[in-house]
Chain A
Amino acid sequence: MQPKYTPENVSPFLAQVSDAAPWREAALKQLKVRGLPTPKLERWKYTNIAALAQSGAKAAEKTPIGTNPVALPWLLQTSRKFVFVNGHMVLGDQRLKITSENFDDAPAVHFNDTMLWSLNTALAVDGPNINILEDGAVFEIIHLGQNAESPLLASPRSAVRVATNVSATVIEQYLPVGDAPVYTNHAMQINLKSGAKLNHVRIQFEGANRRVLTSTHAKVAKDASYNASFLNIGAGLSRQEYWVELDEAGAYAAIKGAQLMAGRQLMDTTIQIDHKAPHCASNQTIRNVLAGEAVGVFQGKIYVHQPAQKTDGYQLCNTLMLSDRAAMNTKPELEIYADDVKCSHGTTTGKLDEAPLFYIRSRGIPEAEARRMILLAFIGDLYEAQPEYIADALNKHVEGWLDYASIHA
């Protein structure tokens, strides 16, 4: 049998670690034993990132921003703005920077196969460290990759803390700028104090040559709620992981989003929600649309620890296959150690239904428009609860994708 862990595949990157800061130690130790994930690991069965190890990618250096930041597609004029270029924070309040003092490396302890997180810890140089005290504050982060002739590995790092009873919004966008072969490996640490609310929106529409890997770890305290919404439409390969810990009673997490893929894209959303205290609820609502020869992955786990009585865990993953050549892999998982819990999960995978298509066309609406209507409706309600400026941006991207997919399906 082949070994589970292949430490040699990470050595080229370990040679590029910029300094011997003490907070990198634990991560380096893990990487030296485990290396980068391979399909031999259960949670990495469907997504092979071997290309990263073989790419000869160099840790990206800091370069100035190549575009006028004002011209970037910010969603809100009054938000506080950060720009990463190739993983380095080039625009944003310097007082809100991650330093060795405020560095928080929590997840390596509990979750399995956190090597990408560790790789980020080993290589990350900077990023925003956002401490939100002001109710209603909106922060926007834009990730850009640029000026790369040979493959680069970008390691943006960010941390968000929301203070007691404060509601805030963080919007991340991964934009295409050119189509340089950049691997982005983002690690994001989120801490919500009691009663805090975070609306975390992620829109990923990178170019086809990009590989986007994100690990988001959220810790949610008493009566706090973490609401994540995502829309993934870009990148040749993407894997986003959400690890959420509902630490205290009344904590809530919702992760809702769509993966829209075409051509030879691979998109992977892998979630684990840990219920660690009683009376917590979680909701995972995932929609996938696959065209061309795309491969989709959804792995979602609800982990109910022994003290987490009265847990309410919900998970639903709906997939629409527009092509016979595409493939969807879904793996829902429940691991329950408490006895008084309510957990449900479901998946559906199907083709576009012919009956509504015929009904709409019989009213004179052309086939392409009829398909578009049905697809929009399939995704539509995911973003219903968003404020208008966010819902509009998300829907604009969905419609843009539908135009694209109707040609490339």
Chain B
Amino acid sequence: MFAIKNLHAGIEGKEILKGINLTLEAGKVHAIMGPNGSGKSTLSYVLSGREDYEVTAGTVTLEGRDMLGMAPEERAAAGLFLAFQYPIEIPGVQTTTFLKTAVNAVRKARGEPELDPVTFLKTLKAKAEQLGVKDEMLKRPLNVGFSGGEKKRMEILQMAMLEPRVAILDETDSGLDIDALKIVAEGVNALRDAGRTFLVITHYQRLLDYITPDVVHVLSGGKIVKTGGPDLAKELESTGYAGYGNAA
């Protein structure tokens, strides 16, 4: 279980998250929707440990373990993964090399042996193919010169390789064409299982047509202002956020 309690956080003295409470059970998909600037990306950064954000109150635990005291890499080893809204380009580091370093770093931290290069490459090739990531892309420096859609697919490929327990997808659907959206959704669905939790941040119902959420939350003004079932997302599609008072 991934539990966020009364989380307050901000940046440069400005409070952005104003008391978030979320309980994500293993095996479930939660969606977060909300107006621009309501704090969705901030939440994803704070959960994964970006150092320029300051947590002023609250707790975050994964299976009872405190996450907020951990460095970003420790959180990754504990099973947290963030698919970035804006993936960062890493010039000079070949994608394959990067993925191998990441996978083995996480395995090492978990006390597992490193993957031998042959097994690693086989796994990578299979998962890349599933997500329509071309071989040629794996040879290029990570994300450098990738199109918006290619970057998003690469995020999902990284997720598939790291096999997290909690995956936060921050607007992974933006920038994807319709075919890519289906492929990415299939990739996510393939990873759905009883031990894994997804937190899917999106603006559009379309993604949720492919990845059916168990729970939908509305984040507005740094707070969860409404929680409901899959129908809530459909309702928002027609009504918008009017009436949910963006206090930001």
Interface residues of A (CB under 8 A from B): 354-356, 358-367, 369-370, 373-374, 376-378, 380-381
The interface residues of chain B lying within 8 Å CB-to-CB of A366 are 73, 105
Q: Are B90 and A364 in contact (CB under 8 A)?
A: no
**Tally of chain B residues near chain A (CB < 8 A):** 31
Partner of A367, one of B71, B81, B89: B71
Instruction: Pick the contact of B90: A354, A359, A362 (CB < 8 A).
Output: A359
Q: What sequence of 0s and 1s flags, for each residue 47-81 of chain B, a beta carbon within 8 Å of any chain A beta carbon?
A: 01111100000000000000000011101110001
A contact residues around B89 at 8 Å (CB):
356
List, sorted by A's number, 24 A–B pairs whose CB atoms are closer than 8 Å.
Answer: A355-B88, A358-B49, A358-B50, A361-B71, A361-B73, A362-B73, A362-B75, A363-B76, A363-B98, A363-B102, A364-B73, A364-B76, A364-B102, A364-B105, A364-B106, A365-B105, A369-B101, A369-B105, A370-B73, A373-B92, A373-B93, A376-B93, A377-B92, A381-B92
B158 touches A (CB below 8 Å): yes
Query: Chain A residues with Cβ under 8 A from B75's Cβ?
Result: 362
Min CB gap B140→A, angstroms: 13
Other-chain contact of B109, A354, A355, A364, A381 (Cβ < 8 Å):
A364
* Interface membership of B201, Cβ < 8 A: no
- The reply on B87 being an interface residue by CB < 8 A is yes
Whether B218 is near chain A, meaning CB under 8 Å from some CB there, is no
> Whole-angstrom distance between the alpha carbons of A373 and B73 in the complex?
15
Contacting residues, chain B, for A356 (C-beta < 8 A) = 88-90
- Inter-chain CA distance A378–B141, complex, in Å, is 13
**Which residues from chain A contact B52 at a C-beta distance below 8 Å?**
354
A396 to chain B, nearest CB (A): 16
Structural contact, A362 and B106, CB atoms closer than 8 A: no
A363 to B90: give the CA distance in the assembly, Å.
13
Question: Interface digits, B142-175 against A, CB 8 Å rule (1 contact, 0 not)?
Answer: 0000000000000000100010000000000000
Q: Which residues of B are found within 8 Å of A373, using beta-carbon distances?
A: 90, 92-93, 98, 101
- A354 partner residues in chain B, CB cutoff 8 A: 51-52
Whether the Cβ atoms of A359 and B87 lie closer than 8 Å is yes
Residues of chain B within 8 A of A369, CB atoms compared: 101, 105
C-alpha gap A358/B50 in the complex (Å): 6
Q: Least Cβ distance of B55 to chain A in Å?
A: 15
A374 to B142, CA, bound (A): 12
CB distance A362 to B48 under 8 Å?
yes
Contacts of B102 in A (CB 8 A): 363-365
Q: Judging by beta carbons under 8 Å apart, are B101 and A365 in contact?
A: yes
Tell me, yes or no, whether B91 is within 8 Å of chain A by CB: yes
- Residues on the B chain within 8 Å of A374, using CB: 90
Q: Which one of B82, B93, B103 contacts A362 once the chains associate, using CB atoms below 8 Å? A: B82
Tell me whether B158 and A363 are in contact (CB under 8 A): yes
Residues in B with CB closer than 8 Å to A358 are 49-51, 72
Given contacts A363-B158, A370-B73, 13 further A-B contacts (CB under 8 A): A354-B51, A359-B84, A359-B87, A361-B73, A362-B48, A362-B76, A362-B81, A364-B105, A364-B106, A364-B109, A365-B102, A369-B101, A377-B141
Determine how close the nearest CB of chain B comes to the CB of A2; give it in whole angstroms: 47
A377 touching B91 in the complex, CB below 8 Å, given contacts A361-B71, A363-B76, A364-B73: yes
Contact across chains for A364 and B88 when beta carbons are under 8 A apart: no
- Complex formed: what's the CA distance from A361 to B90 in Å? 12
Write out, one digit per residue, whether chain B residues 25-44 have a CB within 8 A of any chain A CB (1) or not (0).
00000000000000000000
